[in-house]
Amino acid sequence: MDKLNNTSNFIKTINGIHCSQTPIWLMRQAGRYLPEYREIRKGAGSFLNLCMNPKLSAEVTLQPLKRFDLDAAIIFSDILTIPMACNRDLKFIENEGPHLKPIKNEREIFELELTSINYLEPIYECLSLVKSQLESEKALIGFAGAPFTIAAYMIEGKGSKNFPKCVSFFQNYEKSFMELIKKLESFISNHLIKQIEAGAEAVQIFESHAEIALKENKFKKYCIEPNNNIIRKIKRKYPSIPIIGFPRKAGNLYADYVSNTNIDCLSIDQNVNIKELLNNLKQKKVRSLCFQGNLSPEILLKGGKPMIDSTNKILENFSSVSHIFNLGHGVIKETPTKNIELLIKTIREWNK
Ligand code: CP3
C-alpha cells in the first residue's frame, strides 16, 4: 500500500484507502454542454474525426479539468470504435446518434475480425498525450463498451430502446450470438490492455444496455460472464489496475454482478436505492469494494436546491464505504456549467 502514497485521491479511494476529499468525475464530462468542446468539434468536422485525432481528443479530454475541480480525466473516445475497427461503417448522424452496417446473418459473425488494431492507434496516442500533460493528483481513466452492449449496436445497426433485432437474433441464433460475444471479449480485452499500456491508470467497462439481457433472463450469460472474462484477462496482466464495472439498470442484479466479477468499483445508475444495495451486498457477505454514480443527470440539469439535497443524500448514504462521486449516466448536453460548479462546491463543502 505504501506505493500508493503519492497517487491521486481517485486511485487511493478505489483501492480502499480513506481520503479526506471524495474524488469526483462525471460520465460525459467532456462534450457538447461545454462551449470550448463545441468549438473544437466544429473545427474537426465530425465526432469520429475528433475521436481519431490524438491532439484534438487529448485537448477535449483535458477541457473539463481546466474548468472544474475534477479528480480524473476520462479519455475522449467512444465504445463504438471497436465495431468501426471491424469495418462496420460507423457514422454519427447529427441528432440521430450512431449508425452502423447491421450484422444480418451468422456468416458475418464468423467472418468478423478487427481489420487492423492500428485503426485504434490514435486512441492510445491520445492517452499518452493526456498522461504527459496531467497533474499527478489527477487520474486517467480508459474505457470500453462491454460485449453485449457493443453486440446490440452491431446487430441493431443503431441505438434503440428495446433493440428488437438484437433480441430476435439471440433468440434464434444463440450459438452465433455467443460467437460474437466471444470475439468482442477478445477485441475489448486487447483494447483495454493497450489503453493501460498507453497510460490509463484505471478502466471502466460500460454495459449500458444490460437491461435488454436482463429482461430476457440472460444477464448472467451475456453480461456477467463476458465482463468477468475481460476482467480476468486484464487482471492476469495488470493486477493492480483498478476496474470499474457499470451494468446500467441491472436493478437487484447489481449484487450478482459484484459477487461474480472481480471488479474494484461498481458504478450505479440513478434508479438504485443505495441503502438497499449496500444491505443486499452485506447479507450476501460480498467483499467490500468502491462505489460510484447515482446522481440523476436530470437533477444536475435542473440544478439548485434539489440537486444539493440529492448530492448530500448520496454522500451520506455512501459514507460508510469507499466512494467516488459520479452521475448515474452521462451529462446531458443542455446542462449549464454553473450547475457543475455548484455540484462540486456542494461535495467539497460536505467533506469539510
Ligand atoms: O464520458 C466521457 O466524457 C468520455 C467520452 C465518452 C463518449 N461516449 C463520447 C461521446 C464515453 C465514455 C462514451 C461511451 C458511450 N458511447 C456509451 C456508453 C455510455 C452511455 O452513454 O450509455 C455509449 C452507449 C456510446 C454510443 C454513443 N456515442 C451514442 C449512443 C451516441 C449518441 C448520443 C449522443 O449523446 O449524441 C454517441 C456520441 C457521443 N459519444 C458523443 C460524445 C461526446 C456526442 C458526439 C457529438 O459531439 O456530436
Residue nearest to atom 25 of ligand 1 (CA): 79
CB of 151 closer than 6 angstroms to any ligand 1 atom? no
- Residue 327 CA to residue 295 CA, distance in Å, equals 4
Under 8 Å between Cβ of 90 and 99: yes
Domain 9-350 has CATH 3.20.20.210: yes
Tell me the pTM.
0.96
Give nearest CA residue, ligand 1 atom 28: 78
Give the pLDDT score at 189.
97
pLDDT value at residue 3: 66
To test the pocket of ligand 1, the residue of 28, 52, 248, 333 to mutate (highest count of ligand atoms within 8 Å of its CB) is 28
Contact at 8 Å (CB) between 54 and 122?
yes
Share of the chain above pLDDT 90, in %: 95
- Paired residues of 265 in beta bridges: 244, 290
Q: Please report the sign of the dihedral spanned by the C-alpha atoms of residue 259, residue 260, residue 266, residue 270.
A: negative
In this prediction, residue 48 carries a pLDDT of 95
pLDDT at residue 6 in the model: 77
pLDDT at 94: 87
* Ligand 1 centroid to residue 28 C-alpha, Å: 7
Low-confidence ranges of the chain (pLDDT < 70): 1-3, 116-118
pLDDT of residue 4: 76
Which residue lies with its CA nearest to atom 36 of ligand 1? 97
Q: 78 C-alpha vs ligand 1 centroid, how far in Å?
A: 6
Write the residue with the smallest CA distance to atom 43 of ligand 1. 31
What integer pLDDT is reported at residue 56 of this predicted model? 98
User: Quick one: cell of 260?
Assistant: 461474480
Q: Vertex 75, ends 80 and 37: CA angle to 5°?
A: 90
Whether the CB of 16 sits within 6 Å of ligand 1 = no
pLDDT confidence of residue 1: 52
Per DSSP, 161 falls in state S
What residues contact residue 20 under an 8 Å CB cut-off, 6+ apart? 351
Residue-level pLDDT at 119: 83
Q: CA separation (Å) from 307 to 23, 48, 188?
A: 18, 33, 36
Which residue CA neighbors atom 35 of ligand 1 most closely?
Answer: 97
So what's the pLDDT on residue 116? 65
**Closest alpha carbon to 321 in 105, 13, 4:** 13
Beta partners for residue 286, in sequence order: none
